[in-house]
Amino acid sequence: MTLIKSISGIRGTIGGNVGENLTPIDAVKFASAYGTWLKSQRNKENYRVVVGRDARISGEMIQNLVMNTLVGLGIHVIDLDLSTTPTVEMAVPLEHADGGIILTASHNPKQWNALKLLNEKGEFLDAVEGAKILEIAEGDAMQFADVDSLGKITKNDAYIDIHIDEVLDLEYVNKDIIEKANFKVVVDGVNSTGGIAIPLLLERLGVEAVKLYCEPTGHFPHNPEPLKEHLTDLSAEVKKHHADFGIVVDPDVDRLAFMDENGEMFGEEYTLVACADHVLSKNPGNTVSNMSSTRALRDVTEKHGGTYEASAVGEVNVVSFMKKNNAVIGGEGNGGIIYPASHYGRDALVGVALFLTLLAEKKMSVSELRKTYTSYYMSKKKIALTPQIDVDAILIQMAEKYKDENLNTVDGVKIDFADNWVHLRKSNTEPIIRIYTEALSQEIADELADKIITEIKQIANI
């Protein structure tokens, strides 16, 4: 059982010992720290926080603990109940709230849950803000409200519909052309809130939705990370129903992957590539993704005359870089679309609508669309080192070894070669170096990873 405290929130497994797992006491402590921090940001009379959750079995319990803790701090709560991460992100500024909390452990299995923390813009906290909350949680400076100053909980279950309205109003989402295409789509909602939101969106777009695991019970029917090996049922349903394609999201609906009409993966990395291709064809500009994302985004960006930039891994880092570079679209290679015309957060609903518009305009199948993009292949490996080995020193030596190549050391060591790249990142919790590579074939990607692992071993004398 595990409890992980980080600048982006607190994540852990349900049950067990206090301080070692996400117990009720830990949930209350970190909700108290967040509320205390939030009140320190502005001196005002009334504070408001939006709270929503995915469909995890523990979600209702954790949400009640969190909301009533905020009430005890004198903070008013807007309760979205079952919702999605991007819906909560959008609700925060629409409600003129001071912040938001999403109860979700994203793609982690059902025994996990987490408190994801947002600022008044509905965006994830930065490192400084997150560190301050962790500091407050370890201290005793939290002061609760007296009986006449308690907050109130107001329920609002309209926000998924409001979110869909916002998506349909986006300039480069064309409802009419989507409706005329008569798409049939299979949706795997992994028995969480994507099973509510995605079919509702498709219905509004005039798309026939075949529902698979769309009951928000929290009993995930397969590993909730939307990877090929977990999606055999979706593949079978796409072929059985002769669907145009399949859609799968993670439990909190910020990651999105597609499956083509043959039941083959479109490629999680290519979700962002396709959506960017559509947006950039209408509005040429810059893009950003993290360093471990496919080079195909750079190719598409340059095809449309824009500039691609790579950020450190992590959504808050991608968003920061997008603002700095005035990116018109960006995100992460795990199927996370960040479209500033909507909001600065990964949003599967936005991704679905953009993808459907692209497909309807191109008048081609999903497999044909995939062939229009360069095929890159990734290898993801790691090397475990002994605790005595200085991981930072190894990364410095690797950077020195490849100093004549296109090098980026913002987040580990990223080496861009002519036809491939390698990204080395150290773990923050154990003596491990993760090695990500991408090349024009799987064989070359694997060979490059193995070559780098051999070089690291030589430097470390292991």
Residues known to be catalytic: 106
* Number of residues in the chain: 462
Residue 445 and residue 439 in contact, taking contact as beta carbons nearer than 8 Å: yes
Q: Are 123 and 319 in contact (CB under 8 A)?
A: yes
DSSP string, 72-128: HTTEEEEEEEE--HHHHHHHHHHTT-SEEEEE--TTS-TTEEEEEEE-TTS-B--HH
In a 13 Å sphere around the CA of 192, the CA atoms on its Cβ side amount to 35
Beta strand 75-82 with 47-53 is: parallel
- Is 299 within 8 Å of 374 (Cβ atoms)? yes
DSSP states of 356-368:
HHHHHHHT--HHH
Instruction: Find where tokens 């405290």 sit.
Output: 5
Token pair for residue 257?
Answer: 């992957």
The gap from C-alpha 349 to its chain's centroid, in whole angstroms, comes to: 12
How close are the terminal C-alpha atoms of the chain, in Å? 31
Distance CA 40, CA 337 (A): 32
Q: How far apart are CA 353 and CA 161, in angstroms?
A: 14
Give the Cα separation of 7 and 124 in Å (integer).
Answer: 9
For residues 289 and 265, is the Cβ–Cβ distance under 8 A? no
Whether 48 contacts 94, CB under 8 Å: no
Q: How far, in Å, CA of 83 to CA of 53, rounded?
A: 5
Q: Distances in Å between the alpha carbon of 432 and those of 43, 221, 351, 388, 446? A: 44, 31, 33, 12, 18
Number of H helices, E strands in the chain: 15, 20
